[in-house]
Structure 1
């Protein structure tokens, strides 16, 4: 399309198309429609409504939309509406129905629907420079979107790619790990699973997340080696000596990152390590930018930056934290070097911090 005005109008139409599709994915995930199609096999709208305790007329419209969008398949599009049978293609199961597959992505629809609810408050926050009020996790409940990724890769691929860290976690005496901003604890659990000698202490500001983390550790049979505490890692007084401190996909959200890193320095044993995983932002501002950079910026505007703006001493980092920014924070906190680790994923960058001795 040669006309830039028409091209932009077309882009916004396609963006609206995608947003509406995600809203219907939200319904499919929340109502268990994908799981019912997968577990119970092909169904008419009447059968799927019966399986899920939902209203047939709503389910029929949802199925027709999903078939029109290529998300489900229909056996005979010419059949009468109540006679059409729909199925979830096998290739779509990992993305839409299988919560234990690393490719599961229906959580993105939950994220987008939740973000939309904050927009009126965010308009006010833009005007005042403050933070919008916290959004309750209900009715969806807290998402564990990184759970499968951590359980699949953290202790089996990523930490083993740092040889001396891997050796220490496998050695005697048992290593101690502090997992900061641990959320529901799946990163802590993944480390303990992979390293049977290690003990892991998880810390997070969110009391509800810590309660979930404790339940998760118990259900995984790891409560004897994994513990959780509600704590502000940027506040003074966090005690303990650790061979490894991790901050995984949470550092850019910290309002006072330098204070947090200063606290981390006091927690390290001699030879201890700090590993940070954060967004894989470009080294320099670029416009227009690749899709992943746009994705990070979008979340920064609607979620990550607003979440840090309630602290009067906030660093206001935002999700697009470039390597130079992390280096500056680390230097201010007394770390001598920041190493970018040769571990490659599309979304995340891996750092190791070495303290000045």
Structure 2
């Protein structure tokens, strides 16, 4: 996840907050501007294939990069120089003629920018943030009129970026470490249980569970057609299409019972979370487990907040809340769904309450609904 610009608000010995001076806040805002430009450059590097070319082909001149990516040399040169100035790329000879300079992507940045299954692969979040900037006019209109901007309107940057950001977790620690740490979840996965993945998106959570636990079968449900189409293709490529099925449908239409019913980072986006949780209650077998993974935000509102709180509010004001409010009658949860909010939704859906599971993750909290 991205590191927000640190707040310059400080506290006195008595605990009272002190506001930054004009110079301090100007410095903070200027740092944020540099960060925004950096994110825009990363977006270009991703979309144009620059990072992948540099990671695969070693040191390249601007002409070589442009040729490999089918782009214009003059733009490629300026982008390379920007990335070198920002310390992303190494350049062999800064005194050489511009067209003769060779640029290299070091191993550390290469992992962050191109290794799609590395936990350090933060680039998709840059794509989300930059992509959402394309919709600022629509967001301004929504803020003024009280409407929303739907997930479909945000397009491929949000849809693909979100899936890619969660992919390392969904293929790695989540199915292989986190879920098996819950005894009855581990039993269901070990004994070839049935799993329902509610709001499955592009399918990485369902695919990760199937890859880590060869005996299980998984049904994924989502109402976003492009996401479901991509999920089906991803399952085929991963070799689990015989055990993982994706349904372009509201989970309310599902039948049968499941040993594990899970919703991974999506309940806060739902316009009617109580109805969805009630469906999850209905789908769970008598001894089944209902699991929700959502944002690891603070239990109560505090200001200033930590970096997780800052980034989650950043998502909320530009994506999750506008998406939620694009639906008539939405409860408008937003990204910052605190435990008490989920507890209230769960009780209204027929559960007795929620249990925060002892799974340690910086950005996500895991709940069992009882």
Shift of 1:311: 2.4
| Structure 1 segments unaligned to the other structure (5+ residues) | none
1:108 CA displacement: 1.9
* 1:281 maps onto 2:297 in alignment: yes
Structure with the largest fraction of helix: 2
Tell me by how many angstroms 1:232 deviates. 2.2
C-alpha distance in 1 between matches for 2:44 and 2:368:
40
Segment drifting more, 121-130 vs 177-186: 121-130
Pick aligned residue for 1:308 from 316, 324, 328: 324
Report runs of 4+ in structure 1 exceeding 3 Å deviation: 138-141
Counterpart mapping for 1:265-344 below 5 A? 265-344=281-360
Instruction: Report the number of matched residues.
Output: 350
Counterpart in the other structure of 1:70 = 87
Looking at structure 2, the residues matched to 271 and 311 of structure 1 have their Cα atoms a distance apart, in angstroms, of 34
Question: By how many angstroms is 1:138 displaced?
Answer: 4.6
Aligned to 1:166: 186
Deviation at 1:273, TM superposition (A): 0.5
Match of 1:346 in 2: 362
| Aligned equivalent of 2:209, options 177, 191, 198 | 191
- Of 106-115 and 294-303, the range deviating more from structure 2: 106-115
1:125 aligns with 2:142: yes
Match of 2:155 among 137, 143, 159: 137
Selected match of 1:84 from 79, 101, 104 = 101
The equivalent position to 1:251 in structure 2, one of 251, 257, 267, is 267
CA shift digits 1:192-247 (9 cap, x unpaired) = 112211110000010111111111112222111111111223x5x43221110010
Q: Does 1:209 align with 2:227?
A: yes
Partners of 2:20 and 2:127 lie apart in 1 by 35
Asked if the contact 1:32–1:52 (Cα under 8 Å) also holds between the matched residues in 2, the reply is yes
Change (3 A) 1:347 1:18: same
Query: Does the C-alpha gap of structure 1 residues 271 and 139 become closer, same or farther in structure 2, counting only changes over 3 Å?
Result: closer
CA contact 1:26–1:113 (8 Å) conserved in 2 = yes
User: Would you say 1:112 and 2:132 are equivalent positions?
Assistant: no
CA deviation profile, 1:53-78 (whole Å, cap 9, x unmatched):
21111111111111110010111212
Unmatched segments (≥5 aa) in structure 2:
1-7, 9-18
Change (3 A) 1:325 1:7: same
Counterpart of 2:52 in structure 1 is 35
In the alignment, the residues of structure 2 paired with residue 252 and residue 140 of structure 1 have an alpha-carbon distance, to the nearest angstrom, of 16
| Cα deviation, residue 349, structure 1 | 0.6
State the match for 2:167 in structure 1.
147
Tell me the residue number matched to 2:67. Answer: 50
Distance 1:141 1:285, change over 3 A: closer
Q: Is the CA contact (8 Å cut-off) linking 1:30 and 1:140 kept in structure 2?
A: no
Aligned partner of 2:12 in structure 1 is none
Q: Which residue is 2:16 aligned to?
A: none
Q: Distance in 2 between matches of 1:4 and 1:240?
A: 61
Q: 2:135·2:154 contact (CA, 8 Å) conserved in 1?
A: no
Q: Distance in 1 between matches of 2:336 and 2:159?
A: 27
Deviation of 1:101 (Å): 1.8
Mean Cα deviation higher: 63-72 or 189-198: 189-198
Separation in structure 2 between the aligned mates of residue 259 and residue 67 of structure 1, nearest angstrom: 51
Deviations 1:249-278 (A, max 9, x none): 111001101111111111111111111110
Q: Match of 2:240, SS? A: coil
Q: Assess if the C-alpha contact under 8 Å between 1:256 and 1:315 holds in 2.
A: yes
- Distance between the aligned counterparts of 2:199 and 2:157, measured in 1? 23
Q: Deviations over 1:268-301 (max 9, x none)?
A: 1111111111000101100111111010001101
On the 8 A contact 2:159/2:227 being kept in 1, the answer is no
